[in-house]
Structure 1
Amino acid sequence: MLAYLRSRPKAGQQEPLFLTEEGKPMSRAWFASRLHLLCKYCGLPPERYTAHSLRIGAATTATSSTPVFTLKAMGRWSSAAYERYERSNHP
């Protein structure tokens, strides 16, 4: 991540973190299509992995060490909706 950030020295805090090859902000569709291709490349079943899977994984990982107010801010949740994403009780 540090190498990536160094490659964008003029990026401000209000600019998107990740950009497409054309220098445009990533769209949800752009990301989903790249994730699908990456899964295929890695031999994973792409139908099992979605952009939403990453949101669930991030919420699950963060709940063990992140205060609720921070978790809610990170996920842009104003309610306890984050609880639906947290999967620590699931194998």
Structure 2
Amino acid sequence: MTRYLRSRPRASQLEPLFATEKGEPMTKAWFATHLHLLCQSCGLPPGCYTSHSFRIGAATTAAITTPVSTLKAMGRWSSAAYECYLCPESQDILEAQKTMTLTSPC
């Protein structure tokens, strides 16, 4: 992110954070098209990478240090729908399973 921001030293606070080469706000369609092209140029299967993957990754990463109220506002979620975007780390799942097996039944 720091590198990206350094590439736009003249951008004002009124401009969109993520802009096209023309300085216009990136649209979902623009991003999806360019992601597809980028995957092709890197030899990656474009069908395995979607713009939605970034929403999931961003929500999961942000959830580590961000309060739920802020996370919901950032994702424009008014309900607990944000929870389906959070992917727990495999280590967290293993720890939860261990805890469940060590807990004695009531």
Place the TM-score, normalised by the shorter chain, in its bin.
Answer: 0.7 to 0.9
Q: Normalization by structure 1: what TM-score?
A: 0.81
Q: Normalization by structure 2: what TM-score?
A: 0.71
Shift in Å, 1:4: 3.8
State the superposition RMSD in angstroms.
2.1
Whole-angstrom distance in 1 between the partners of 2:63 and 2:22: 35
Per chain length, whose mean CA-contact separation is higher, i.e. which structure has more relative contact order (CA < 8 Å, sep 6+)?
1
How many residue pairs get aligned? The number is: 90
Whole-angstrom distance in 2 between the partners of 1:37 and 1:83: 30
Whole-angstrom distance in 2 between the partners of 1:75 and 1:34: 22
Runs of 4+ in 1 over 6 A off after TM superposition: none
> Which protein is richer in helix relative to its size?
2
Moved more, 78-87 or 2-11: 2-11
Identity of aligned residues (%): 63
Decide which structure has the larger Cα Rg and report it.
2
Unpaired stretches in structure 2, ≥5 consecutive residues: 94-106
2:26 alignment counterpart: 26
